[in-house]
Structure formats: structure tokens, C-alpha cells
Structure 1
Amino acid sequence: MHAYRTHSCAGLTKDNVGDTVRLSGWVHRVRDHGGVLFIDLRDHYGVTQVLCDPDSPVFAEVEKVRSEWCIRIDGNVKARDPELINPKIPTGEIEVFIRDMEVLGAAEELPLMVFGDQEYPEETRLRYRYLDLRREEMQRNMTLRSDVVASMRRRMWDQAFREYQTPIITASSPEGARDFLVPSRLHPGKFYALPQAPQLFKQLIMVSGFDKYFQIAPCFRDEDPRADRSPTDFYQLDMEMSFVEQQDVFDTIQPVIEGVFEEFGGGKKVDKHWPQISYADAAKWYGTDKPDLRNPIKMQDTSEHFRGSGFAIFAKLLEQDGTEIRAIPAPGGGSRKFCDRMNSFAQKEGLPGMGYIFWRDGENGMEAAGPLAKNIGPERTEAIRTQLGLGKGDAAFFLGGKPSSFERVAGKARDVIGEELGLTDKDRFAFAWIVDFPMYEADEETGGIDFSHNPFSMPQGGLDALSGDPLSVLGYQYDLACNGYELVSGAIRNHRLDVMIKAFELAGYDEAEVKKRFGGLVNAFQYGAPPHGGCAAGIDRIVMLLAEEQNIREVIMFPMNQRAEDLMMNAPSDPTNEQLRELHLRVIPQED
């Protein structure tokens, strides 16, 4: 007999009745029913009920075990009485009478319980992550993550991609976040960087003549944490292809993502049609570049209805350049109570409020109500209602100013309205490609020009496009949004050295700086670089959506906390003096 088990704790059925078996696992819970001890024995695969009464030669030893002790038992498989069958588990028709037991690992008093649905502070859960991971939900999430990665790999191989590994210790590159720097012992005063993404290397793989590349790649970015983002590292499905246009990349990655969501989405509908929405339209219609299309609300520009109107705030606002009034339709939101609640929402988000109009029964049929309606009159309110396609029982909310000042709140308000009015379809995964991103953005404080997204993207129009206003240049850059999250980001790359030098020049990098920082890529582009492009899909975020979790730490095996600390391993930690001397470093104490 095997030293530890003949079966897993999910492997026994009524066909095993009468067998002598050996099981190993953790004591999930213990129940004493009148001198008969029942133990739910758990391993990674499931639970088996084992029992022991005073006739067992090890009854006295079994009495000592407590929750989360790791034990091995030998015993006889028995059929449960019909009324005691548990149909919820695969082993529910049997139980095992214990004949022998060995304690493999006793447990101290637990800082958190594995059995049950108790809530614990995140600090406790992360400090004792190995216990937290024993819980059924966490076992399910990590198994899902592993299965998703395996599925992605199979689907990429099925499209003739091969997986290649790129370096973890490399040079710094501008990817939009801070680098994690690694001091060099052999080269005092110089630093490596952990890769924010395999960006440069995957482009070099294309220059090297490999037509299709993918990798399940770790990426490292020193970022401020959010619920949907790790503050230190994450994994992505990274891919690149040669001799492709934007649509080729879309056609390649869609069946991979779509297939994964169909396979692991729990039966939810997975949209087949993925619309392509420009960055400008996404901001205008949804207030974000990662819209949740499960919500049918689309914002509209209603400036003309307020220009020169009796509502002085909006009328005067529209006299300024670059301003507009945007409406958020709210079908079914036509009550003063709901309108006041949304106005309070805007105030909590830092705005003075949101104007609103709602339509209700009046003496002569449908009438418009609310402060805005009184100020602009029935003709303008009717024109607004007609434009927005609204009717009795509906409402509309209005925000004004320069779009950059209110779009974020407008987007959040659209989400809240969709949720509260039951307009958002929860049983669906809705995808959209966001395209035509601006290549550059202006720093509001300095007025300087910098890259707005990936600096290695090909500008639409090539070199000619870079001779005019940088802020009007669009790139072949794209993101895939799903249910309000960015899942994929990518671009057709800039493979022409002259275009690349000019593109960086507009962002304040002269040719010497480009050659110094990206010498490997610059040199490679002199020897026949093919047109190429690709994308990267965030694995952590995809699994978070599939697991129906709100926090990305629920699908990462050993995540950091909000302050980028590993409470379990005590990282970051203080280096020893010997380590600092070897690296020729000195730590300067932080001033209070």
C-alpha cells in the first residue's frame, strides 16, 4: 500500500464499499455524535467523511485531532444509510471507518478558520496566506487560474504560435510606469531593471525572423495599487506577429479570449461581435476608454439645446472655448427621488452636482419636470427628449464644462444609473476594441508633449503624420475592454527607424538619447525589420472576471497588500551591511 494514500478524498464511490483504503488530508471539521467521531477529511480534490467509535483501535488518538491537523488514516469503506447520503459531494454515498491513523502534521491554534464563511481582515489573510489558500473558494480560484493559463497556451499553439522566454533582468524602458531597479554588483553604480513588459524583446524576436511569438510573461511595475491591479507584478499572455495589420491581430486574439470566456464563464453569454470604437467616441459616449457595454446607456452632446437658454450656468459655460453639455439618458429613472440621489452622487465625486430633467404625467399629458426644465422651457426640453429617445417615466442628467473635467464622473454616473435601474445585463461578457488612441498628450502643468500610451507604436500616416500638430496624431494602438475592465492592450509597432527617431523627438528625446536608451532596437532596425504588431492580455484581470471577484488579490496566489508589502515573507526587508557593501550602496535615512 502507498505510504500516504490509495485514493484522493474525492475518489471513493459506492463501488469501493468493502475496500480497505488509505487517505491523507486535513481535518476540515470534527463532529461528536454521542461518542461516535465524524471527521470531514479534506485534500485538494474534495472531502470524505471518516468516522471512528470506541471499537476502533485508535479511538483515543482520533479524539485528540483538531481542525487543520494533517493526518493519514487507514480504514474500511462503508455505505451510508440512505437517509444520510450527501448528494452535494462525490463521496456522499460512502464513509470510511478508521482502523489506523498517523498524525502527519499537528496544527497550532488557527489565526483564521478554513471551514465556514467567516470574513477576516485582509492583513490576516495575507499574513497567513497558506491557510487562506486552503479555503474552498481560494482553491477554486487558483485552479481556475491554472486552467485558464493552460487553455490560453493550447489555443495559441493551435494557431501555430510558439512560446519563447525573454529575460527578467534587463534595461529600463518607458512603459508608462516606474521601474523596479536592480543594482549591479559587477558594475558599481549601474542598475538593471525588471521588465515592465517583454516589449523590446518581442520586437527583436520578430526582427530575428520568428514569425509568431507568445509567452505567459511576468511583468513588473512599481504602481499605485487598485482593486483591479497589483502594485508590483502581474502576468500577461504576450504575443507578437510579423507582416500583420491591426485587424490581423484582432482576428488572432479574439478566438483565444472568446474561447476562454466560453470555457470558463459559467454559462454566461459571450458576445461574438466585438465593435471597434474610437478612443474619442468612447470618451464621448461612455466617459471612459474601457466601457461596460452590458449597459446600453450612451451619452450624447446636448450643447445646442442650452446655448443661449434661460439656464445661465450652462449658457455662460458654453461661451468658453472647448466646453460642452453632455447628457446621460436614464430610462426608467423619472422620479425626483432618484434624480436627487444621482445629484448627491455627483457632489460626492467632487462636482457641484448634476442637472436633470425627468418626464412624468401632467395635466395635459406628459410634462418635463426639474429645475432645468423650468429654466429652459418646454420647447427645448421636448427637443432634448426627442434627441435622447426618452419618454414618460424617464430622466436625463447633464454635466457641463471641458470634457476632461467631467468625463470621469460622467462615466461613473453612467455605470451607477445602469446598475440602479437594472439596465446592465449581469449575465453577459460584452467586448469592444477601443482604437485610434492619440499618440501624444500635453502635460497640463508644463505644456510639454509626451507619449500618451506605448511609445513604440506606429503613428497612423507614418512620417508625414509627425510633421503637424502632435496632439492630432493617432497611433495604431488598441485596447480590448470587457465589462468595464481593460483586458488587452497592443499596437502595430513602429518598425521604421526614421519614424521612430521623429516620434521620440516630438516627445522630447533627441536621437542620441534614443540610441542610448534603446540601442538594441535601434541597431536591429538597421538590418531589415519586418512590419509587426501584437498585444498582451492581462491574465490576473481575466481570471478575476471569470471568478466573479471584485479584487484582483483573490485570484493571485501570493499577492502584496495595498502598500506593496508581502506580510507573509516580510518584504521589502532591510539589506545587510555586507549586501550594501557588495553593491557599493548606502541607504540614506528618510527625514521625518
Structure 2
Amino acid sequence: MGEALLGLKRTIMCGELRESNIDNNVTVMGWVQRKRNLGGLIFVDLRDRTGILQVVFGEEIDKEAFLKADTIRSEYCIAVTGKIVRRESPNNNIPTGLVELKGNNVKILSESETTPIYIKENLDASENIRMKYRYLDLRRPDMQKIFMIRHKTAKVIRDYFDENSFLELETPILTKSTPEGARDYLVPSRNYPGMFYALPQSPQLFKQLLMVSGFDRYFQIVKCFRDEDLRANRQPEFTQVDIEMSFVEQDDVISINEGLIKKVFKDVLDVDVETPIKRMPYKEAMEKYGSDKPDLRFGMEITNITDVVLNSEFKVFKDAVENGGSIRAIKVDNCANMGRKDLDRLGEFVKTYKAKGLAWIAYKEDGIKSPISKFLKEEEMQQIISRMDAKVGDLILILSDSNKVVLQALGALRLELAKKLEILKDNNEFNFVWVTEFPLVSYNEEENRYQAEHHPFTAPMDEDIEYLDTDPSRVRAKAYDIVLNGEELGGGSIRIHDSSLQEKMFNVLGFTKEKAWERFGFLLEAFKFGPPPHGGLAFGFDRLIMFLTGTDNIKDVIAFPKNQNAFDPMTEAPNIVDINQLKELGLKVDVKDI
């Protein structure tokens, strides 16, 4: 049975006690990490979210407290009162290691059964069991540190925006479904049978309406929802830092967000981020790194060697060029002696990206070794070596196919090699880059129409507007992503605020005027009344916390996450509901479908 506090107050946290507290009488409360009975003395490591304190009970100190302490087990929740003294055997591994608490009174506030997971750092347990007992998983010191950093980061963000005249404004969670992108989560309405609210994929339309309202600097740390198949580091509900500004151009939005990045990394990690951050056009990112979120912490840039082998007799190369494709390569330093099995595995790897095969050239001490050397003239081989700036010991990997396949496959291969060769194993740098000048639209072959790369309200670059009518795929957007170590940390754009340009954009995307008004009428109506030029950006807050805490699992930074099937093993959500609830909503569920 647990004892009541009966007016007993905690006077200090366990992890805060130091030499300066010696001879102080204190009351601490927390959970028992472990207990050791040495006969006449009982030692208890008491833990709260600030750290661990050693508590000692002795028959000579207080016999009643000693006897009660002997009944304590791991994870009991207790309160202890006593005097802080200097430890006879200091523990330099913990901040409180020079002192201990001589307990003269102990209350067992609640008992604990044996926990299904260990409460310790670096726990090696299955993710499903950790999620089922998430409240215990969150007791672990390394997990609690993550959420302290999350709290501090949110405070730094709010303080920064407040200092820069932003207002934190809330937008609705129950809103209209405007499907354009991921699938919406739908909420049935009891008051309007057969009608549904949608949970917001982002506050995009509302923050633009706030600009029309005259709130020229808005931000929000907000929950967003997307009903999509979960891949690594995606959750059905996630948090983003949402920003919108009026009377701005791209440089203004980028500048304010660089200031935020600089402040967050300095205040939270004491890391200096150099600004201005490098910018890279989308086209350059794709051609050099095969990705619109390039990892710049290592080289292996993609090089176009099409012109070098343009007249080659090698049929694979000739076919690629004749079909409008290209031949491109990456250089892997000091890997000329890579084994044939490893090279074959890399060949299989690129096939998953629709590449037909991987050619290679090993520049060894005793000459050039390559399965394609018999198809190339000596001069062509030397030109490839020269173009790739290869030296003895280097390996050149070559792909030939359509530009899309070659760039995508080499981009993925570059990352796979960095992992395989452990190039980034001890790399703790934060390498930021802005990727700019994204395509405004892309052509969807299945739907036989253009679709927005960002969203339908992204503004085209002024010099490209003329191509909207003739060649939309040529139009670049006033869009920008902030990328950190090969991960998209955030993205945004300058928005369209001119009604005629917005109408033209809808036309390009295949929306009739009626369809556009049906989906986005409330925004279009608002744009009749003097909308200001505006733009913004949204950061993935959970992803930011992943970088700040050094974890590679998004579930670690969300207090109560879902698993890869969007299921919560702890609450067992989603689950069936009472039939009366369904009746109130005018819904009927076929049990066979469940």
C-alpha cells in the first residue's frame, strides 16, 4: 500500500545536490533505481528527471527508517528526508557523486511490480515492447533528456520569434478537406450527417488568410496529420514550426529562418552555425548529388562523362545517348581493390532504382582494370580517368540510362557507399544547405495532368511566368528547402497573391474554375480583398529534435508515437467504438470489413 504525503514537500530535486548542500536537511522524492543491503547499511540510488542521488539508511542513523528501507524494491516511488553529507567513496561518473543523503525518514508512496523493461540508458529491447510500456520507457534518463531538449528548443523558438515581432496564433484542427497531396484524416460530423471535417495536413491556407488579416508575422508550433503509408521517420501525426510573413521576398524569409537556426543550435547545443547558409539550385543538387536533399558532408559528386564516351563503340553507352539519356559516374577514393562480390552487390543495389547495370573502372598500381575496357579505346579510358580526377587506388562507378534513372540511382549509390564505407561514422558536423529554384510543377503520367511540386499557391519565378502557357515544366518556383546532412529540415515558398496568376496556376493544374472554388473558395474569396505579398516556411519540429538529440528514430522524440502500421500498442488505438456512437454519427460499419 502507498503512503500519503500528509503535507510532506519536496525541497530539492535529486540531481541538483552538490557539495554546497552539505549539512542541509532536505526532502527528495523519486523512483528507486537500485538497492544494496550491506548488513548494517542500505544504499538506495534514487532517481528523478534531474539525475540520481545516493541515499544511505543505517541502523545507527534511524532504525525505523532502516527497517522500512529494507522493504524497498526497484521502481518503488518513495520520499526521503535527511541530511546531506560528503560521500566517503565519491562517484565521479554522476554530478551528485560527491555527496549522499543520510535518510532518517522514508515514505513508500507507491510500490511497483517487476517492470517488463529495464529502466536504464541505452536499453536493448524491442521497439514494440518499449511502445507498449511507453510510460516506463519514458522514465529512462536518456529518454527524459530528449524531452528536456525538446522543451528547451520550443522555448528558444518562441523567444526568437517574439523578439522578432512574430505573433503565435492558433489555427483550426477541425477543418475542410482540401485533398492535394497526402490523404486526409476525416472526422464525421454529428450535427451534419454525412459530412466530414478533415484534420489539417498543415495550416497552409489559414496562415495565408492570417496574412490577409494583417497579422504580418505569424508562427505556430502545431500538430499536423497525414493519413499515408508510413516510411522511416514518418508519423501519422507530427509537429511543425509554421511561419508566414507579409511584404517579403525569398531572401527575407530565408534570412529570418537562418537566424532561428543559428539561435537554436547555439542555445541548445552550443554549436555555431555559420551564416549565410550556402544555397544551391535544384538543378545543381540533382546533377551533382542525385537528390533534392543533398548530403554535403562527403564528396563522391556525380560527374557527367557523356561527351567523353559519346562516340564509343560500347552499345550500352550508345543506346543511352540515342534515347536522350546520359552516362555519369562517381569516384570512390581508395577503393580500387574492392572485391568482385561487393561490386556485384552494388550492381544489384542500383537495379532497385531501375538502372540496368553498373560499370566500373579500378585504377590500380598495375594498371586499369575494368570489364568495359575492351569496349573503350585507350584514349577514351584515359579521358574518363582525367575527367573524374582519379588517382591510383581509386574506383570509378558508371551508369548509363535516362537522366532520371542515372541521377536517382547514383544519388542513392553515393549514400549507400558512405554507409558501407563508414565515411560518416565519426562525423558530428551539421552541414546545412538551402536548395532553391525547384520546378513549379511536374507531369503526372497516370492522371495526364500537371501537378504542383509544392502546393497550388506557390509563386513562379517572375522571369518564368511566360512559360506557364507554353511549357509549364520549364517554370521554376520561388520555393526553398533547408537541408541538413541529407535530410529535409523544412521547406517553404513565396505565395501567389495575384488573383489572375492564381487562376492561371489552377488552369495549368487542370482545375476548372468551379473545381478550384469548390476546394479553395474561402481563400480565393479572401484574395479579392487586398492580399499582401507573402511567403513562409515550415520546419519539421520532430526532425529538428532528432538532430539536436543525436537519434535516428523519430519515435524517440515523440512522447507517445505510433508504430510503422500507425498503431499505438499502448492504448491499442485505433480500435472499435460503441455502436451507439456510430448511430449518433449516422455511420454503419460492416464488421466483415474490420
Structure 1 residue 297 corresponds to structure 2 residue 300: yes
- Shift of residue 266, structure 1, vs aligned partner: 6.0
Q: Cα distance 1:473–1:134, how it changes in 2: closer, same or farther (>3 A)?
A: same
Alignment of 1:103-252 (within 5 A): 103-115=108-120, 117-230=122-235, 232-252=236-256
* Matched-pair contact (CA < 8 Å) for 2:497–2:527: yes
1:57 corresponds in structure 2 to 64
Q: Is the 8 A contact 1:346 1:409 kept in 2?
A: no
Which AA in structure 2 matches 1:281? E
Three-state SS of the structure 2 residue aligned to 1:274 is coil
Unaligned runs of 5+ residues in structure 2 are 1-5
Alpha-carbon contact 1:434-1:481 (below 8 Å) kept: yes
Determine if contact 1:439/1:452 at 8 Å carries over to the other structure.
Answer: yes
CA distance in 1 between partners of 2:313 and 2:42 (Å): 80
The match for 1:285 is 288
Identity in percent: 37
Unaligned runs of 5+ in 1: none
Aligned equivalents of 2:458 and 2:182: distance in 1? 17
**Which of 318, 322, 333 lines up with 2:321 in the alignment?**
318
Letter in 2 for 1:243: F
**Is the contact between residue 262 and residue 270 of structure 1 (CA under 8 Å) also seen in structure 2?**
yes
**Equivalents in 1 of 2:142, 2:399: separation in Å?**
42
Matched residue type, 1:564 = A
Q: State the AA in 1 paired with 2:431.
A: A
Contact 1:342 1:413 in 2 (8 A): no
Per the TM alignment, residue 591 of structure 1 is displaced from its structure 2 partner at its CA by 5.0
Aligned partner of 1:441 in structure 2 is 442
Report the alpha carbon displacement of residue 259 of structure 1 after superposing the two structures with TM: 2.2
In 2: Cα distance, 1:18 partner to 1:258 partner? 43
Amino acid corresponding to residue 400 of structure 1 in structure 2? S
Once the 2 structures are TM-superposed, how far is the Cα of residue 50 of structure 1 from its aligned partner? 0.4
Distance 1:7 1:480 in 2: 42
Q: Per the alignment, in what secondary structure is the counterpart of residue 580 of structure 2?
A: helix
Q: Note if contact 2:187-2:197 (Cα within 8 Å) is conserved in structure 1.
A: yes
116-125 or 102-111, larger mean C-alpha shift: 116-125
Question: Which of 501, 516, 533 does residue 514 from structure 1 map onto?
Answer: 516
Query: Deviations along 1:545-574, whole A, 9 cap, x unmatched?
Result: 111111111111111111101121221111
The equivalent residue for 2:432 is: 431
Instruction: Answer with 132-141 or 274-283: which moved more.
Output: 274-283
Corresponding residue number in structure 1 for 2:26:
21
2:382 alignment counterpart: 382
Q: Measure, in 2, the Cα distance between the counterparts of 1:2 and 1:379.
A: 89
Cα 1:303/1:514, change in 2 over 3 Å = same
1:211 Cα deviation after fit: 1.4
Write the distance in 2 (CA, Å) between the matches of 1:140 and 1:236: 21
Question: Could you tell me how far apart the structure 2 residues matched to 1:372 and 1:89 are?
Answer: 60
The aligned counterpart of 2:335 is: 333
Residue 539 of structure 2 aligns to a residue whose secondary structure is: strand
How far residue 135 of structure 1 moved from its aligned partner, in angstroms, is 0.5
Structure 2: distance between partners of 1:58 and 1:330:
67
**C-alpha deviations, 1:254-313, integer Å up to 9, x for none?**
11012212333464x634342222222211111111111111221111112233324322
Deviation at 1:383, TM superposition (A): 1.0
Letter in 2 for 1:296: G
Question: Is 2:461 aligned against 1:460?
Answer: yes
Structure 2 partner of 1:401: 401
* Aligned counterpart, 2:578: 576
SS in 1 for 2:346: helix
CA distance in 2 between partners of 1:258 and 1:417 (Å): 31
In 2, the alpha carbon distance for the partners of 1:193 and 1:471 equals: 31
Q: CA RMSD in A?
A: 2.0
Asked if the contact 2:121/2:141 (under 8 Å) is kept, the reply is no
How many residues matched? 582
C-alpha distance in 2 between matches for 1:540 and 1:404: 31
1:281 aligns to what SS in structure 2?
helix
Q: 2:482 aligns with which of 480, 483, 489?
A: 480
Amino acid at match of 1:587: V
Q: What TM-score, normalized to structure 2?
A: 0.94
Match of 1:67 in 2: 74
Question: What SS does structure 1 have at the residue aligned with 2:124?
Answer: coil
Residue type of the alignment partner of 1:482: L
Letter in 2 for 1:319: E
The answer (yes or no) to whether the contact 2:261–2:273 under 8 Å persists in 1 is no
Q: Is the 8 A contact 1:290 1:486 kept in 2?
A: yes
User: Is the contact made by 2:149 and 2:545 (CA closer than 8 Å) also made in structure 1?
Assistant: yes
Contact 1:271 1:431 (C-alpha < 8 Å) held by counterparts:
no
1:499 shift after superposition = 1.3
The worse-fitting range, judged by mean Cα deviation, of 173-182 and 211-220 is 173-182
CA deviation string 1:400-441 (max 9, x = no partner) = 211322433311211233345565581211111111111222
Deviation of the 1:116 alpha carbon: 5.1
3-state DSSP of counterpart to 1:218: strand
Letter in 1 for 2:360: Y
Separation in 2, partners of 1:399, 1:486 = 26
Deviations 1:164-214 (A, max 9, x none): 111111112245211111111111111111111110111011111121111
* Structure-2 change in CA distance of 1:444 and 1:271 (3 Å): farther
* 2:465–2:475 CA contact under 8 A, matched in 1: no
Greater shift after overlay, 386-395 or 420-429? 420-429
Moved more, 30-39 or 101-110: 30-39
TM-score (norm 1): 0.94
Question: Which shifted more, 149-158 or 168-177?
Answer: 168-177
2: CA distance, partners of 1:553 / 1:111: 19
Structure 2 match to 1:368: 368
- Equivalent residue for 1:76? 83
Alpha-carbon offset, residue 64 of structure 1: 1.6
In structure 2, the CA distance between the partners of 1:19 and 1:446, relative to structure 1 (3 Å rule), is closer
CA distance in 2, matches of 1:16, 1:275: 49
**How far did 1:452 drift?**
2.2
Alignment correspondent of 1:85: 90
SS at match of 2:28: strand
Residues 1:225 and 1:374: Cα distance change in structure 2 (over 3 Å): same
Seen in structure 2, the aligned counterparts of structure 1 residues 581 and 48 have a Cα distance that, compared at 3 Å, is: same
**SS of corresponding position for 1:468:** coil
Instruction: Give the equivalent residue in structure 2 for 1:564.
Output: 566
Which secondary structure state, in structure 1, belongs to the residue aligned with residue 365 of structure 2? strand
Q: Secondary structure at the match of 2:197?
A: strand
The whole-number CA distance in structure 2 between the counterparts of 1:419 and 1:483 is 13
